[in-house]
Amino acid sequence: MIRMRIKSNGVSADISIFRPEAARAEAHAILLPSSGEGDVRDQLVRMENALRCFLAMKEGAGLKVVMKRIFLSDPANQISAVKEICGNDGAALSVIGQSPLYGAVKAGMMVIFTSEVNLANRNGLVCVERGNYSDFWFTGGAIGGVDSYEATKLLFHNLTEGLKREGLTLERDCHRTWIYVRDIDNRYRGMVKARNEVFREEGLTDSNHFIASTGIEGANAVFDALVTMDAYSAGGLERTQTVYLKGETHLNRTSDYGVSFERGTAIIYGDRRHVFISGTASIDNKGQVVAPGNIVKQAQRMIENVNILLNEGAAKSEDIMHIIVYVRDIADSGKIKEIMEENYPHIPYIVVQASVCRPGWLVEMECMAITDKGSDEYAPY
């Protein structure tokens, strides 16, 4: 694993690079303006320039952007600048209203790169063709004029229809979702009800598996859209390549309290293993909030839970490619950054404002790790 930081024209880019010898490389980056200087357009331009700077370096040689997530302070007023400045490379583009908690910074960026791939936009999905497999990113999800239940049903319909046209299914091929709910304290139940129904209809149950997911507060540029959704699917996998992570010593089954998602998922390739950790908070194996009201103890339990899940997926914290941290109260952001620097000093991360799905949870994190613990019985990534 290579870790590097680029400082270019008022932007800091923290980057993780997984580049096995004679194999397809991957990189993840978190980019942030060093200060809140300039408007959102200026900040986006500077981050895009930093991206190009990295790709022109020897460490970025051969890499191609396949997915971007843009975190915005005011998406309704900033979306036009994002589309103009960040949407011209063919990559999947996710835009979400979650303010980066770095002073007057208006926008932050998470980027995933892969080498030796071709991009195609079809059936509402961005397809990343990579040899024996293909990735499919769904980042078009925001539907206005309906409640959170109907919006979620429609978004999953759009996703499943796009997958079916590619010969894929939600149950077999979708491995990660991100569901953002505006005013989650009041509208989370509608999303959960819809997701539960869709999963039953598509054959996802507690007796086989669900999908790794983050369900979190988030807005979008459509003023009356209550739910936004992104999803990641991978085509060409054998069923035995996917392992579902439970962490049952520390976490309960999500179905115990009526929701449907996996705590984490590992995908095994011939030359590596991808480990997706869902949004994880301070919870115990009875489903109870640990350390109510205490941001430090909640962060510590959150990290402990993540480490349990990583270990179950044959990974460790040193294998993490990037982290996204969601903080309910902006007053806690300074303490959370201290904790992140202490525990993950060299790993790209971003802290954004977003309420977690249960009011008692003050902080949540998600991450993705890559390790070289693959299996020779499968084709390489």
Q: What is the pLDDT of residues 72-101, one digit of tens each?
A: 999 999 999 999 999 888 999 999 999 999
- Please determine, for residue 36, whether its predicted confidence score (pLDDT) is greater than 80: no
**Average model confidence (pLDDT) across the chain:** 95
Helix axes 184-202, 148-165, angle to 10 degrees: 40
Confidence at 9, pLDDT banded by 50, 70, 90 = confident
What is the reported pLDDT for 27? 98
> Using CB atoms within 10 A of its CB, is residue 301 exposed (0-12), middle (13-18) or buried (19+)?
buried
Instruction: Give the pLDDT confidence score for residue 47 in this predicted structure.
Output: 96
- From CA 76, how far away is CA 72, in angstroms rounded? 9
Q: Tell me if 62 sits within 8 A of 49, measured CB to CB.
A: no
Does the structure show a pLDDT above 80 at 141?
no
Q: Does the global pTM surpass 0.85?
A: yes
Q: How far, in Å, CA of 381 to CA of 377, rounded?
A: 12
Residue type, 362: L
At 37 the pLDDT is 81
- Residues contacting 126, CB < 8 A, separation 6+: 66, 67, 90, 91, 92, 119, 120, 136, 137, 139
In angstroms, rounded to a whole number, what is the distance separating the alpha carbons of residues 343 and 341?
Answer: 6
Rounded Cα distance between 269 and 372, Å, is: 9
pLDDT tens for 179-216 read: 999 999 999 999 999 999 999 999 999 899 999 999 99
Q: Identify the DSSP state of 349.
A: E
Strand 133-144 relative to strand 26-33, pairing: unpaired
Residues 151 and 141: their CA atoms lie apart, in Å, by 9
Q: Are strands 92-97 and 26-33 parallel, antiparallel or unpaired?
A: unpaired
What are the distances in angstroms from CA 303 to CA 3, 137, 370?
21, 28, 18
Q: HSE of 182 in the Cβ direction (CA atoms, 13 Å)?
A: 20
Q: Which of 146, 231, 162 is nearest to 194 (CA)?
A: 146
Residue 55: what pLDDT? 95
Rg (CA), the chain: 19
pLDDT at 68 over 80: yes
Crossing angle between the packed helical segments 333-343 and 295-312, to the nearest 10 degrees? 40
Task: Using the predicted structure, report yes or no on whether residue 109 has a pLDDT greater than 80.
Answer: yes
List the 242-245 sheet strands across, edge first: 242-245, 264-268, 273-280, 363-371, 320-327, 349-353
**Rounded average pLDDT over 216-232:** 94
Distance CA 326, CA 216 (A): 8
What would the DSSP string read from start to end of 129-174? EETTEEEEEEEEEEEESS-HHHHHHHHHHHHHHHHHHTT--HHHHE
**281: pLDDT strictly greater than 80:** yes
